[in-house]
Amino acid sequence: MGSAAVAQLARRGLSVLGLDQFAPPHALGSSHGSSRIIREAYFEDPRYVPLVQRAFAAWRELEAASGESLLTVTGGLMLGRPDSGIVTGALASAAAHDLPHDLLDAAQLRHRYPQFTLPNDVVGVLEPRAGILAPERAIAAHFAVARAHGATLLLNTPMLAWEPSDGGVTVGTEHARFTARRLVLSLGAHAAQHVPQLAPHLQVQRNVLYWFDAARNGAQFAPGRFPVFIQELSPQRSWYGFPDTGAGIKVALHQQGEITTPEQIRRTVNDDEVTAMRRIMREMLPDADGAVRTTSVCMYTNTPDFHFVIDTLPAAPQVVLASPCSGHGFKFASAIGEVLADLVMDMPPAFDLALFRLGRLTV
Ligand SMILES: Cc1cc2nc3c(=O)[nH]c(=O)nc-3n(C[C@H](O)[C@H](O)[C@H](O)COP(=O)(O)OP(=O)(O)OC[C@H]3O[C@@H](n4cnc5c(N)ncnc54)[C@H](O)[C@@H]3O)c2cc1C
């Protein structure tokens, strides 16, 4: 969110300073692991659809500006029982926004995607435009655009504190204090530390990514033949995966990890966790159950309703909040950068932000 914001603000001709405690892209936050799903028939709420549609276009614009390949279309399969939130939600968004999609029953799914072993009562919503974003390359591309438009990026420079001053803000680091007219806080899992109003409402959750080699017939998991997918295994329990783009078949559980903090998060993955994931692979995607190539630990920053916070601070409207994103924000970053720039410049955002208001949490 921060890299998108600095790119947008610099492009609009503002004088921009970007600070990060590390040097993005890095593996200590929420935006690493080489791939993120982007999808359009958004099961979480149809109100996300206009934002993600703008994000698709903005990712393509960023590709053109940076010369980087960032978005690979693979199609996306939302799997679950007909009454599951994933299926009903994807269909609701598709209907509300007239999105291209196919609803496949179990027999059709087996025929089209024999990689899956699916129960008879599972259906799938297939959306053709979904795909994979490359998060590290996307962050680097946003940084390149920001620098090309004159932004200063101070990396490995933690913000120690911020305070309102003369209608603007002052930000303190170890060696300097900076004053600015506006501040965008896109702190990911660290948001609670610097925005006390958010603290009681946020939970940082540890989530593990796994990369498996195919056990057999690896070609069937190539991007042309295997889509990104999310499957509701039971209410409140989902997993998702990606085709093999060279590093293995990546899979993960969604919203299942332990609650933690950025300081205390357990960064190693134990054998029991791998075994539990392998059990799901054996049941649902048996040919993908080969050797584990690697794992990675990442953080979700969840709100109680799992929607984002994108808003100005009521007590300090010169401060714009750009996260938390409840484990599903990356796909929107290119568009959220534009929204943040609108809020910084006191321009009416092009999207309805009602879903993301801070006030819904603090009342
Ligand atoms: C395992 C996993 C899988 C996911 N899958 C998907 C997916 O498929 N699709 C999707 O759309 N989304 C997905 N998400 C969610 C998405 O990746 C996140 O919502 C998004 O990347 C969060 O971006 P952010 O900028 O808020 O946080 P981050 O990328 O973590 O950035 C926050 C930055 O703030 C910096 N920072 C914090 N405190 C300070 C400070 N005091 N001073 C200076 N810098 C500071 C940090 O160093 C960090 O670089 C996934 C997330 C995880 C963890």
Q: Kindly report, residue by residue over 288-336, the tens digit of the pLDDT.
A: 999 999 999 999 999 999 999 999 999 999 999 998 999 999 999 999 9
- Rounded average pLDDT over 37-53: 98
Q: What is the pLDDT of residues 53-70, one digit of tens each?
A: 999 999 999 999 999 999
Distance 30 CA to ligand 1 centre (A): 3
Query: 270 CB under 6 A from ligand 1?
Result: no
Is the pLDDT at 363 greater than 80, yes or no? no
CA separation for the pair 249, 305 (Å, rounded): 30
Query: 139 CB under 6 A from ligand 1?
Result: no
Distance 298 CA to ligand 1 centre (A): 8
311, 334 in Cβ contact below 8 A? Answer: no
CA separation for the pair 262, 269 (Å, rounded): 16
pLDDT confidence of 46, banded at 50, 70, 90? very high
CA separation for the pair 206, 94 (Å, rounded): 31
CA separation for the pair 274, 292 (Å, rounded): 8
Q: Whose CA is nearest to atom 34 of ligand 1?
A: 187
Mean pLDDT of the chain: 97
Is the pLDDT at 281 greater than 90, yes or no? yes
Distance 114 CA to ligand 1 centre (A): 34
Is the pLDDT at 207 greater than 80, yes or no? yes
Neighbour-count burial of 268, counting CB atoms closer than 10 A to its CB (0-12 exposed, 13-18 middle, 19+ buried)? exposed
Torsional sign, CA 57, 113, 48, 147: negative
Which residues lie below 8 Å from residue 26, measured CB to CB, with a gap of 6+? Answer: 32
CA separation for the pair 266, 252 (Å, rounded): 16
Q: What is the pLDDT of residues 349-360, one digit of tens each?
A: 999 999 999 999
Query: 37 CB under 6 A from ligand 1?
Result: yes
Residue 362: per-residue pLDDT: 85
Other C-beta atoms lying within 10 Å of the C-beta of residue 330: 22
What φ, ψ does residue 115 adopt, rounded to 5°? -65, -30
Residue-wise burial string across 215-251, b where 16 or more C-beta atoms lie within 10 A, e elsewhere:
eeeeebbebeebbbbbbbbeeeebbbbbbbbeebbbb
Query: 323 CB under 6 A from ligand 1?
Result: yes
Residue-wise burial string across 177-193, b where 16 or more C-beta atoms lie within 10 A, e elsewhere:
ebebebbbbbbbbbbbe
Is the pLDDT at 259 greater than 90, yes or no? yes
Start-end of H helices in 210-349 = 271-284, 333-344
